[in-house]
Amino acid sequence: MKKFSTAGYLFIFALSTGAVSFNALAADTAASTATKTTRCSFKANAPDKHKVVRGDTLWDISGKFLDHPWCWPQVWGLNRDQIRDPHWIYPGQIVYFDRAAGRLRLGTPAGDKSALPNVKLSPQVRTEGMGQDAIPAIPSAAIEPFLSQPLIVNENDLQTAARIVAVQEGRVFLGKGDKAYVRGDLKGGTSFQVFRPAKPLRHPQTKEILGYEAAYLGTVTLDRAAKAEDEAHRFIVSSSKEEMGIGDRLIPVAPTPILNYIPHAPATAVDARVVSVYGGVMQAGQNNVITISSGKDEGIDIGTVLHLYRFGGIIADRTDDKKPVKLPDEQYGTLFVFRVFDKLSYALVMQVTDAVQVGDVAKSPE
């Protein structure tokens, strides 16, 4: 199976004429540490340099130099506390492998003034959408729909969410521009996503219900708030992905998230399971989205990298009276968490050599 590569951000702290550099001491320290570990070791056949071209990702570029591309922040000399004001890597720049220092550096070809855009450094919050010509983070087309929808909700969310109780006269289902009549506490909100509760998501081993994945139907906007407790609110359907109807639930539209996709191992040991593959199928491949059985409660956050393992079965030892023996879990890929809920997370399947199956293990990198 062909490997698929995705990207994280490159964060640069100093910009000089024609080149970008990092704090030398921090970079040397991190690079020295990285090269001493298996996780962040450089490839024996790593090139001396790589010219960034349109279509590259930072994950791809790092993979040319590192055995494990996800640990690029350590090799660049970055730590998670320092990453506050992201800048960008652009086509035309060159990544150099400083073999003596054991680190990577970024620059432009000598005399080339056009390759590096004019970037003014100032304190501000930057998001993934800025820097139109910059190398992208995780492929936006793959994860964009999952940043705000579909939704994972818990039992309490289902019980307390406002709901459609009637539709515009003459309609069975609603489309864009139609009226919906809603009952429930809007909590001051005016814009809502409409969703339909789907099957519960259960832990493959314990069978505990970890949440409910709700099918996203579209958005509605408040047109007239109820004037009395026993009166319905009137909404207008502002966008429609699927038809809406009586019984569908409303949840406030979340603000656009500010995301720093910095790949990192989890702070504590994680031993999760693949709960579901989005779309209702049993297997996933490269660039597919899966749900895993760990979330905020287990210390997972955005950017967490986990290794995928096929769960080793238990067999009868035919050489010793058929005593049961468990086979070791076999690693076959990597996943990247990009959205986190209380007990569940969405992750993008990255480099894999086999199909991801429900029940597979997702563990901290070793």
pLDDT at 124 over 80: no
Q: Calculate mean pLDDT across residues 318-344.
A: 90
pLDDT higher than threshold 50 for residue 34: no
Query: Is the predicted pLDDT of residue 251 greater than 60, yes or no?
Result: yes
* Percent of the chain topping pLDDT 70: 73
- In angstroms, the CA 65 to CA 95 distance is 10
| Whole-number pLDDT of residue 181 | 96
Residue 130: pLDDT over 60: no
The single-letter DSSP state of residue 174 is B
Does the domain at 271-363 match CATH 2.40.10.410? Answer given as: yes
**pLDDT for res 86:** 40
Identify the band that residue 111 occupies on the pLDDT scale cut at 50, 70 and 90. very low
Burial 216-252 (b: 16+ CB within 10 A, else e): bbbbbebeeeeeeeeebbbbbbeebeebbbeebbbbe
Domain boundaries along the sequence of the chain: 14-137, 147-252, 271-363
Q: Is the pLDDT at 156 greater than 90, yes or no?
A: no
Q: What is the pLDDT of residue 10?
A: 30
Does the pLDDT of residue 131 top 60, yes or no? no
Tens of pLDDT, residue by residue over 54-83, are 877 777 788 888 887 777 777 765 544 443
Q: Give the per-residue pLDDT at 169.
A: 82
pLDDT for 208 equals: 93
Of 3 and 188, more confident: 188
Token pair for 248: 């569908």
Q: Does the pLDDT of residue 305 top 60, yes or no?
A: yes
Q: How much is the pLDDT for 219?
A: 93
127 and 258 Cβ atoms separated by less than 8 Å: yes
pLDDT at 210 over 60: yes
Average pLDDT, the chain: 76
Of 129 and 334, which is predicted with more confidence? 334
103-107 and 209-224 strand pairing = unpaired
Q: Tell me the one-letter amino acid at 65.
A: F
The reported pLDDT for the residue numbered 306 is 94
The residue among 272, 363, 285, 301 whose CA lies nearest residue 1 is 285
